[in-house]
Amino acid sequence: MVQEEFADKLVAKPGDKNYRAISALATHCFAIEKLFSVRRESFEPQPKVESAVIRIIPVYTVPKQTVTNLNLLFSKRNKKATTVAAKAGIKTDFGSKRIGQLIPSDLVKIAESM
């Protein structure tokens, strides 16, 4: 069980307002399923946030440096992906897509190449 806002970030898709580095990493490395929400009224004392129960199944692992690079990429989330990759010495063509619009596997490839 986690805070519902965090669960929403874990399962966010490219282009969503909640799509972050943790979304891309979680989606790439795990099979994640949001099972159900738990209302704050279910607890005593009552917390200030809603909760959600999620299922996480490991699929892949990535080196720590890839995680660091992925966070660096998302610090430039509104920049064009091709421009960011080129500055890192990586030749790609993502057209006009921004970092925050790339699918997790593309983001991990760039992060691993940095």
Phi and psi torsions of 24, nearest 5° = -65, -45
Q: What is the pLDDT of residues 13-48, one digit of tens each?
A: 998 999 999 999 999 999 999 999 999 999 999 999
**Domain housing 65:** 2-113
Measured CA to CA, the distance from residue 19 to residue 59 in angstroms comes to 20
CA 98 remoteness from chain centre = 14
Does the pTM surpass 0.85? The reply is no
The domain tally of the chain equals 1
End-to-end CA distance of the chain: 34
Q: What is the pLDDT of residues 58-91, one digit of tens each?
A: 999 999 999 999 999 899 888 888 888 888 888 8
- 45 vs 39, 40, 41, 95, 102, CA distance in Å? 12, 9, 9, 51, 41
Phi and psi torsions of 110, nearest 5° = -65, -45
